[in-house]
Chain A
Amino acid sequence: MNYIETHYLDIINVAKVYPTKQGPFIVLQNFNLTIKEREFVCLIGHSGCGKSTILTMVAGLNSISDGNISLDGQEIDGAGPDRAVVFQSPSLLPWMNAYDNVAIGVKETMAKASKKERHEAVVEALCAVGLKDAMKKRPGELSQGMCQRVGIARAFALKPKLMLLDEPLGMLDELTKHELQDLIVTLHREYELTTLMVTHDVDEALYLADRIVMMTNGPLAQVGDILSNDLPRPRIRKDTIEHASYYPYREHLITFLEDQDEKHRKAS
């Protein structure tokens, strides 16, 4: 891998500061993280630790107070179609069917492509998330899990350089969550899109990620620890949890989070 590939996403000395009447409030500072091309990285930490702040800064939806972020050698300046985001709520337009919800994004990013090519991109994305038979359905006719599949398809159809997932499964019940984790594993195996995902679920992180970045509590949140997750791929849930490294990894992550809890309790 050349330098650009090993430093595909490069977050260097990033800080986020909000000015308040009591002086500057520093959410994050000296945040450094480098992600390789095709790598899947999870950010975990407690609510309020600034995980989503990082993600939205990478997305270009939130300004960077200090430091810089580059993707594929280009410094990030605002939002762009090379980065697609899936949020906890899929934010679908209720009057449009699944196909049209995905097509909105494709229309923008593939403006120069033919109608047929755009159509194919939309259909491929919807098939990939298992919604081949639900393309004409509106969000109101779909379950919460299916709506989130549309959300993933919409991001995925852009064939972005970087997928940004902001707790996309946070609102789903356990069963649907497992189904969508399986979907994300399959999509990553087939398409190898570089992915940065925010989650607070240690089992989710272990199932999906190549590396798990643990964040300390905010304010002044930083990278506390990084776990290289060498559980073999392709990942199959049954084999993954049976693997000898699974529970040691799990203990490592839970210990980190419990220590952060401790600090949080002492502080408040």
Chain B
Amino acid sequence: MITTNSTNTPIFSLKNVCKGFGSAESRSEVLHDIHLDINNGELLAMVGFSGTGKTTLIKLLAGLETPDSGTVLFKDQPVTGTDPKRGVIFQNYSLLPWLTVTGNVGLAVDQLYRDRSKKERRDIIEHYVEMVGLSDAMFKRPAELSGGMRQRVSVARALSADPECLLMDEPLSALDALTRAVLQDQILEIWREQKKTVVLITNSVDEAILMADRIIPFTPGTPSTLGPEFVVPLARPRSRRSMNRNDLFKRLRNDIIHFLESEKKKNQATVVAESLVEIKQAS
């Protein structure tokens, strides 16, 4: 059974988007000519190596950056600034160290539900803290939490605003393999239940295949642009171990790796092989 929340109306639509930093001669373009439609309710993974403008793209979607040219539309309206309908989760968690778990989640809730009573806001906070499995750690501060727990706080904070989409910038890259697997499952669970659009930026092809409906790679190098889309035709839930027996999985995984590798090779000469030849000739 293929289960997806996706419908075919785009929630985001990017056309001809370019973005660079610096001015005049020192300007370097990070993203070049990005065309992208993101469907309502889908889980889209975008894979890319470091320095390919992944974070810049998330910031454009979030409204934290504006494009130099082209348009970024959210539900047919140009994105002009941040909006609680678009929740963002960063790799570094961005928690305030002097606030507890409920304090950090409360930041968003107090801002967005000003008309509610203290008790109601309290309930909302606890609801989301519970959703990410941190009820036992409500009064702990970030320093007392593991990396995985901190990232859960930031997921709870983003969810508490009840956004229509979640923009995740390598949320799991800093975690060890075990914690990463647990959080992957948890994010999938939340996506399935909450029916939100999720844009997941990742450096892991395996994470992308495990989680996404569709995968779009960034080309390596600067400026970066988007490669062809890869639809993930695998039934959910997906098993990390038995997928290795699935021919569709193998084909897809190899195709994406080949794409990234061949793009990379276009970008750089094979320095190592060359210098080995030189050594051989010299000796």
A residues touching B (Cβ–Cβ < 8 Å)? 46-47, 124, 127-130, 132, 173-176, 178, 182-183, 186, 190, 200, 237-238, 241-242, 247-248, 250-251, 254-255, 257-258, 261, 264
Q: Which of B204-243 contact A (CB under 8 A)?
A: 204, 220, 240-242
B275 in the interface (beta carbon within 8 A) = yes
B261 touches A238 (CB 8 A): yes
Q: Are B261 and A251 in contact (CB under 8 A)?
A: no
| B177: Cβ under 8 A from any A Cβ | yes
How far is it, in angstroms, between the C-alpha of A173 and the C-alpha of B47 when the chains are bound? Answer: 12
Residue of B nearest to A260 (CB): B178
Determine whether the beta carbon of B261 is less than 8 Å from that of A178.
Answer: yes
B279 at the interface (CB under 8 A from A): yes
Query: Are A247 and B250 touching (Cβ within 8 A)?
Result: yes
Contact B49 A247, beta carbon cutoff 8 Å: no
Complex interface: chain B residues within 8 A of A175 (CB): 49-50, 220, 264
- Across the interface, do A127 and B275 meet the contact criterion of CB distance under 8 Å? yes
Instruction: Contact check, A261 vs B261: say whether CB atoms are below 8 A apart.
Output: no
Residues of A close to B245: CB separation below 8 A: 247-248, 251
Residues of B within 8 A of A (CB): 49-50, 176-178, 181, 203-204, 220, 240-242, 244-245, 250, 253-254, 257-258, 261, 264, 271-273, 275-276, 278-279
CB of A133, distance to nearest CB on chain B (Å): 9
Decide: B275 and A258 in contact? CB cutoff 8 A. no
Since A127-B278, A132-B275, A254-B241 are in contact, a sample of 20 more A-B pairs with Cβ atoms closer than 8 Å, ordered by chain A residue number, is A127-B275, A128-B275, A128-B276, A130-B271, A130-B275, A132-B278, A173-B50, A175-B50, A176-B50, A178-B261, A178-B264, A200-B177, A237-B257, A238-B258, A238-B261, A242-B254, A247-B245, A251-B244, A258-B240, A258-B241
Complex Cα gap A252–B273 (Å): 32
Q: Kindly list chain B residues whose C-beta atoms are within 8 Å of the C-beta of A183.
A: 272
Say whether B49 contacts A173, CB under 8 Å. Answer: yes
CB B225 to nearest CB in A, in angstroms, measures 16
In the bound complex, how far is the Cα of B254 from the Cα of A241, in angstroms? 7
* A residues near B271, Cβ cutoff 8 Å: 130
Q: Which of A130, A174, A248, A264 contacts B49, CB < 8 Å?
A: A174
* Best-buried of A129, A173, A200, A247 by chain B (most CB within 10 Å): A247
A128 CB contact (under 8 Å) in B220, B261, B279:
B279
> Which of A174, A175, A186 has most chain B Cβ within 10 Å?
A175
Instruction: Indicate whether A248 sits within 8 Å of B181 (C-beta atoms), given known contacts A174-B49, A186-B272, A238-B258.
Output: no
Please list 12 pairs of residues, one from A and one from B, whose beta carbons are closer than 8 Å in the complex, sorted by A's number. A130-B272, A175-B49, A178-B261, A182-B272, A237-B261, A238-B258, A241-B254, A248-B244, A255-B241, A257-B177, A258-B241, A264-B178
